[in-house]
Structure 1
Amino acid sequence: MTPGNNGPGTPEDDDPFGYLYADGQARGAQPPSGGYGYPNSVSRVRTVGERQYGQQQPTAPYGQVPPQQGAYGRPNPHYAAPETLPGGGAPTAPQQPAGRGGSGRGRGPNTKGLLIGAVAVVAAVVIGIGVAMMNGSDDDKKDDTQAGPTPTQSQETGSPTPSASSSGDAEVELPKIDAKALRLAGGTTLASDVKGAQADGGVYVTGFNQVGATVTWTVNDIKEAGTYRLYVHYGIPGVDANATLSVNGTPNSSPLNMKNFGGTPVGDWEKGWQETWANVNLTEGTNTIELSCQQGNQCNANLDQLWLTPKDGA
């Protein structure tokens, strides 16, 4: 056999796939039949664009090649590219899945968010350290102040400093008088026969049960003009009594009530000691307070002590 084209049957025609090419078809190459000569074999060679997926392939009797659905050189519509169809456009590049954030390109981890979080943590730690250092500095200053070598005045003397409330109490302290310091008139006199009087030595004023009987108290050093409360300690024999109260020569509109508030037995002078009070208006400086037995009064009482308090009775 010499080189060259010696017609059909030459080695060039032995190519089993020659029928697939135009020059092979020009030389008369034919597709093989019967599955390349093997019984019951299936032909696996298909013309490009021939196979249709999803459809049943036609069968042929044993030893015969099934009919081809498309001729060589004719495109199969099932495999036609979109651009070859009417209205088809140019092929487009495959679309990549969109990443997070709506971008057409996929993205990796959100490193920007991680970086912001790390910076926030570091800032919080730095702020915490700064606050701790400032608090420590303040504590050191306080310790230095408390540990100072110079003691305060209260530490030196060992006694507390007087408070403002104590001085205020001293300012509102008001006068008090016993019976023997009163100025007596109108038949009044001093006695100490009935026990229970609170005045010094148990002395009290008696003889007050007659019209014109009077006791007078001159009050000095009133710091501020205003209304005060006058208290009177008295004794009765279980029977209500009263008297006329005058301040700086002016009688009060109502008498001083010396009622039997304790309900003591009638005739028992020792158990009849009680106290009463009335509001009086005083001026700054010196004032005169007078108790007297006038017409219409029931004056059968012994007088023991008189004292003043603020209007609220404290």
Structure 2
Amino acid sequence: MTPGNNGASTPEDDDPFGYLYADGQAAGAQPPSGGGGYGYPGSVNRVRPVGERQYGQSAAQSAPTAQYGQVPQQQATYGRPAANHVTSENFSGGVSTPHQHAQHGGRGGGRGRGPNTRGLLIGAVAVVAAVVIGIGIAMLGGDSDDDKNTGDAAGPTASAGQSAEPSETSTKKAEDAVELPKIDAKALKLGAGVTAASDVKGAKGAGGVYVAGFNQVGASVSWTVNDIPKSGKYTLYVNYGVPGKDANATLTINGEAQNRPLNLANFAKAAEGAYEKGWTQTWANIQLSKGTNVVKLSCETGNQCDVNLDQLWLESGWK
């Protein structure tokens, strides 16, 4: 059999535009006329609504063809187009209209596939879950704020019941705030051969007075220190002057000589013999008892004591 005599084997093989080509015209293809079919003579031109021919069924099993303009009422199978939806097979133009889509969504008496109720149900459940979670978070946050406010409100009451003893830090600050004694050398108890003088300029003591004559064995000065707040560690500072060379002395606390001599070096780097440029200071870590203590500086055998003494003072703790 030839296509010119019998047409295409199936409607899908019809070429609606065969009349436009030379081979189609030779085979007898004609342009459309008066509602007839396109293509070759004897070609298939079937008009049927969707649903009449179902997938997986033969033509014998298909539902009867409905009259043009009528919508057969048949139950749509899930996943397949509803019967009341007219597709391109109904019209030669092959394009469905908005009105037909409206029929598909709004008619069928419950038999056709309506809106996606499953999707709407899932969306509604999601919205409800989000609302419940939001309410739960808000309630938890409110409880935290309430607890915080309650704790803040209870703070002063709890503090009132605590011990009034000061902390270690506040105690240390209070001790540091206590001004420890300071003395000019002229107010010290002077030993044998030691005298007050003011010839060398630069001493910080009142009136520029300092203690001279310390450069001999047996020379000494003593300081009786009162009102030490507690037993412990203190730093002794000494302001002094040397004539451009190092010196040292023996330091005694409450009658006990320290293991190391008091360093009276030429920290000012003054030239030898330049007393006025040799003023500087030194320090030593000592232990004092609460109350009254005696600090003594002396020139003992083995010391280099060519030094002028200006001032002595104490600070809490070790440097």
1:293 maps to a residue whose letter is C
Q: Could you tell me how far 1:224 is from its partner in structure 2?
A: 1.6
1 CA distance for matches of 2:173 and 2:317?
19
2:117 aligns to what SS in structure 1?
coil
Report whether the alignment pairs 1:182 with 2:191.
no
Provide structure 1 residue ranges, at least 5 long, that are not aligned to the other structure. Answer: 1-41, 43-52, 55-78, 83-93, 100-105, 138-162
Q: Could you tell me how far 1:122 is from its partner in structure 2?
A: 4.6
Instruction: Identify if the C-alpha distance between structure 1 residues 256 and 133 changes in structure 2 by more than 3 Å, giving closer, same or farther.
Output: closer
Q: Provide the residue aligned with 2:117 in structure 1.
A: 109
TM norm structure 2: 0.53
Report whether the alignment pairs 1:260 with 2:240.
no
2 CA distance for matches of 1:202 and 1:265?
21
2 CA distance for matches of 1:244 and 1:126?
81
Q: Provide the residue aligned with 2:177 in structure 1.
A: 170
CA contact (8 A) 2:196 2:212 kept: yes
Deviations 1:150-182 (A, max 9, x none): xxxxxxxxxxxxx958645323x3211111210
1 CA distance for matches of 2:175 and 2:287?
21
Deviations 1:267-295 (A, max 9, x none): 11100101111111111111111000111
TM norm structure 1: 0.53
1 CA distance for matches of 2:140 and 2:78?
49
CA contact (8 A) 2:285 2:318 kept: no
Instruction: Identify if the C-alpha distance between structure 1 residues 265 and 233 changes in structure 2 by more than 3 Å, giving closer, same or farther.
Output: same
Q: Could you tell me how far 1:252 is from its partner in structure 2?
A: 0.7
2 CA distance for matches of 1:206 and 1:240?
16
Q: Could you tell me how far 1:310 is from its partner in structure 2?
A: 2.5
Q: CA RMSD in A?
A: 3.9
Instruction: Identify if the C-alpha distance between structure 1 residues 125 and 217 changes in structure 2 by more than 3 Å, giving closer, same or farther.
Output: same
Q: Provide the residue aligned with 1:205 in structure 2.
A: 211
2 CA distance for matches of 1:175 and 1:112?
88
Report how many residues are paired.
Answer: 197
2 CA distance for matches of 1:97 and 1:112?
18
Q: Identity over aligned residues, as a percent? A: 49
Q: Provide the residue aligned with 1:281 in structure 2.
A: 287
The structure with the largest alpha-carbon Rg is 1
1:289 aligns to what SS in structure 2?
strand
Instruction: Identify if the C-alpha distance between structure 1 residues 180 and 229 changes in structure 2 by more than 3 Å, giving closer, same or farther.
Output: same
Provide structure 2 residue ranges, at least 5 long, that are not aligned to the other structure. Answer: 11-57, 62-74, 81-112, 147-168
2:121 maps to a residue whose letter is K
2 CA distance for matches of 1:169 and 1:258?
27
2:176 maps to a residue whose letter is D
2 CA distance for matches of 1:210 and 1:131?
84
